[in-house]
Amino acid sequence: MEQYKHIDDAPSQLTVIATLLLVVTLAAFNTPLLELLRAELPVEQQTGWNASTDLWVNVAFLIEALVLCAITWKSSGLRIGDPKKWKRYAIPIAFVWIMPPLLVLSLYRLLTYTPFHNYRWPIGWWLVGSIAQELLFGGFIYGRMVKLFGQPQDGIKGAFSAAVLITAFLYSLNHWPNIQTTEHGMSPSFVQFQFLYTFVGCAWMLSIRRWTDCVWPAVLGHVLVNWLATVI
């Protein structure tokens, strides 16, 4: 656990349990609940083929994420952050931000399964859904984890802090419903790979969040990576 400025800053046991229950519930059950919402929509209003690709369901997801971030806006990274830190970490920020799209451009088409490209996953997924996911996990949930476990250090050690690793695990966990389907290229082997790259990718991009206390670079990066996966 990271250090708190004052011993009284440490959360109570009840707060820890309640917060962990909340974030695990969001990670594990948000997508199934969105599927139930989609099932209530008239057929003519449904788009895509599931909650992750339906435009209107992802709009509802985005509203949910924005509300949670707005309630906790100071800890959810909605601000630009400290200009001095942006300047200090300018080169590491640029490196961390550019690596995921470069990896997609160079490696994605070499995979045996490329579902996002083969089935042209729609804008509801790569734009609206990406923004919603990043605000929920990199914004709200990471902010909650920092409140529980303290602010991670800026250095390498901070990349392995509880706040970062738990947030990355929860983001990976959020993809478990993909196990239940083999539609649109989601083979079992690809879903297993997805668990790995979502965990690593989330932890990687949280470095910028640690350095700047700003979620927007990760939002933009998430959209770009998912868009590239659909077009290359």
Provide the pLDDT for residue 6.
47
18-56 per-position pLDDT tens digit: 999 999 999 999 999 999 999 999 999 999 899 999 999
Instruction: Give the start-to-end residue ranges of the domains of the chain.
Output: 7-231
Provide the pLDDT for residue 162.
97
- Spell out the residues 6+ positions from residue 29 whose beta carbon is closer than 8 angstroms to its own: none
- Spell out the residues 6+ positions from residue 40 whose beta carbon is closer than 8 angstroms to its own: none
CA dist 230 and 232 (Å) reads 6
206-217 per-position pLDDT tens digit: 999 999 999 999
- Spell out the residues 6+ positions from residue 187 whose beta carbon is closer than 8 angstroms to its own: 113, 115
pLDDT band at 7 (very low <50, low <70, confident <90, very high): very low
How many percent of the chain have pLDDT more than 90? Answer: 81
- Spell out the residues 6+ positions from residue 184 whose beta carbon is closer than 8 angstroms to its own: 49, 115, 118, 119, 121
pLDDT of residue 2 exceeding 70, the answer is no
Lowest-pLDDT range of 109-118, 120-129, 171-180, 194-203:
109-118
111-144 per-position pLDDT tens digit: 877 889 888 899 999 999 999 999 999 999 999 9
pLDDT of residue 183 exceeding 90, the answer is no
> How crowded is the C-beta side of 129, counted as CA atoms within 13 Å?
24
Provide the pLDDT for residue 182.
66
- The better pLDDT of the pair 87, 189 is held by 87
Q: Which helix (H) or strand (E) holds 126?
A: none
Tell me the longest C-alpha to C-alpha distance in the chain. Answer: 56
Q: Which helix (H) or strand (E) holds 147?
A: helix 142-149
DSSP for 32-56 reads HHHHHHHHHS-GGG--SSSTTT-HH
CA angle at residue 147 from 31 to 133, to 5 degrees? Answer: 25
Cβ neighbours around 158 below 10 Å, total:
17
